[in-house]
């Protein structure tokens, strides 16, 4: 399972990358706005900086919602760096655009996916990644992990090549459950990735080893 970090914060991207386990980055307009990135030039520059920091797929989301607008923006984003993946919302024009990008050799991430039907459409259009938002599904009283397992089963039966990129991760347990449910990739805030490190018995055991190490001279 690949690990992506879900942020536009450069310090957090660096910290995750320094762990040596990072395979890519996802961003969205909310995450970019949180970092104060404003205007086309600044947006393009920020994606370029992320591409220089991390050697892996970097999702850059389009802001337009018409077929023509998505294509125009996506072409500009894809021209920034070969690792850019154009992130396109799950709407009718988005599906048309994903098919166009697929036919023109541009990688895509179909975002805002909340159902198996949407995931089938994204795969039919040839999306490189499909992003089911598990945390937001859980928040609304449904089971995000069940959706990951359902999409994994459908893609396997049908032989779809689209990778399942589990998004909207809220904690370390989500990451573990995604691995069990068959996600190809998780995209997660840094905190949830670091949460995988934690176990109280590790802390107790290490404290004891360090104490006994002193006796060894």
Q: Pick from 2, 76, 96, 136 the residue near ligand E4P by CB under 6 A.
A: 136
User: What are 87's two structure tokens?
Assistant: 């992130």
CA dist 163 → 123, 127, 182 (Å): 9, 8, 10
The neighbour count for residue 173, using CB atoms within 10 Å, is: 13
Judged by CB under 6 A, the stretch of 35-43, 131-139, 150-158, 178-186 that binds ligand E4P is 131-139
**Contact assessment for residue 77 and residue 86, using Cβ atoms and an 8 Å cutoff:** yes
* Least distance (Å) between residue 64 CB and ligand E4P: 17
Query: Binding of ligand E4P at residue 133 (CB under 6 A)?
Result: yes
* Least distance (Å) between residue 63 CB and ligand E4P: 14
- Residue 73 CB contacts under 8 Å (≥ 6 apart), including other chains: 62, 63, 64, 86
Query: Binding of ligand E4P at residue 111 (CB under 6 A)?
Result: yes
Q: State the number of CA atoms in the 13 A half-sphere of 178 facing the CB.
A: 31
* Least distance (Å) between residue 28 CB and ligand E4P: 4
Judged by CB under 6 A, the stretch of 118-126, 132-140, 142-150, 198-206 that binds ligand E4P is 132-140
**Contact assessment for residue 157 and residue 123, using Cβ atoms and an 8 Å cutoff:** no
**Contact assessment for residue 86 and residue 63, using Cβ atoms and an 8 Å cutoff:** no
Query: Binding of ligand E4P at residue 6 (CB under 6 A)?
Result: yes
Q: Pick from 89, 94, 132, 135 the residue near ligand E4P by CB under 6 A.
A: 135
* 87 is annotated as an active-site residue: yes
Query: What is the number of helices (H) and of strands (E) in the chain?
Result: 11, 8
Judged by CB under 6 A, the stretch of 33-41, 45-53, 133-141, 200-208 that binds ligand E4P is 133-141
Contact residues: ligand E4P, CB under 6 A: 6, 26, 28, 111, 131, 133, 135-136, 167-168, 187
User: Which residues are known catalytic residues?
Assistant: 87
């Amino acid at each position: 399972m690949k690990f992506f970090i879900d942020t536009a914060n450069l310090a957090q991207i660096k910290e995750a990358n320094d762990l040596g386990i990072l395979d890519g980055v996802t961003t969205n307009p909310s995450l970019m706005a949180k970092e104060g990135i404003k205007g086309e030039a600044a947006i393009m520059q920020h994606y370029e900086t992320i591409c220089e920091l991390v050697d892996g797929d970097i999702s850059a989301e389009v802001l337009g919602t018409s077929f023509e607008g998505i294509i125009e923006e996506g072409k500009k984003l894809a021209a920034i760096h070969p690792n850019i993946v154009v992130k396109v919302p799950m709407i009718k024009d988005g599906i048309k655009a994903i098919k166009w990008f697929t036919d023109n050799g541009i990688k895509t991430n179909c975002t805002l996916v909340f159902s198996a039907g949407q995931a089938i459409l994204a795969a039919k259009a040839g999306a490189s990644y499909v992003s089911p938002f598990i945390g937001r599904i859980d928040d609304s009283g449904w089971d995000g992990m069940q959706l990951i397992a359902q999409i994994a089963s459908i893609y396997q039966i049908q032989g779809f090549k689209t990778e399942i990129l589990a998004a909207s991760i809220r904690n370390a347990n989500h990451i573990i459950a995604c691995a069990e449910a068959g996600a190809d990739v998780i995209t997660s805030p840094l905190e949830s990735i670091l949460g995988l490190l934690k176990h109280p018995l590790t802390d107790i055991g290490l404290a004891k080893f360090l104490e006994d190490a002193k006796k060894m001279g």
